[in-house]
Amino acid sequence: MSKPEEALPSLKELIPAERIALDVEASDWREAIRISGKSLVDTQIVEPRYIEAMIKTAEELGPYIVIAPQIALPHARPEDGALETGLSLVRLNPPLDFGHPDYDPVILLFGLAANNKHIHVRALQTLAEVLSTDYLVEELLKAMNVEEIYSIFDKAEQLNDE
């Protein structure tokens, strides 16, 4: 009998190369979220209104989107314009404060879109493979290109399979 985890999409499937941007400058956290959302719009994962919903969610609920030291997960509800499930990855340079008392400044943003709540949870489980391993996060902070990012994703998925 197959395990449910086997049905999870790989990070490469969730974050294709055209949704990865390294060493991006942003003037503030709102612009950083807009940048992470733009690649989701450009690849038809979300409607343009989803980006502003991501910002509005962070404004209303505070910096809860900063989920770990240096890592933010901007997102909105499926009904805010998510067409498909996918992620974007933006690495900021320089890092930015998002207002989190413990985890600022943010360097890595994983823009999340999910077109239903069930897939939303599955996407988060897949991403957790990387983010729960400190040395993999460190490697993400230093990766020079998309190939290195994908190598890190592969390592995370191998660890999860063990």
48-97 pLDDT, tens digit per residue, is 999 999 999 999 999 999 999 999 999 999 999 999 999 999 999 999 99
Structure tokens at 153: 């994703």
User: Which DSSP helix (H) or strand (E) runs through 87?
Assistant: strand 86-96
Q: Where are the domains of the chain?
A: 11-161
Report, as residue numbers or ranges, the catalytic residues. Answer: 75
Q: Are 115 and 79 spatial neighbours (Cβ–Cβ below 8 Å)?
A: no
CA distances from 76 to 66, 93, 131 (A): 14, 24, 20
CATH classification (class only), 11-161: alpha beta
Strands 20-24 and 86-96: parallel
Per the CB < 8 A criterion, the answer to whether 75 and 85 are in contact is: no
Element (H, E) at 96: strand 86-96
Percent share of the chain, pLDDT over 90: 72
The tens digit of pLDDT for each residue in 7-61 reads 667 888 889 999 999 999 999 999 999 999 999 999 999 999 999 999 999 999 9
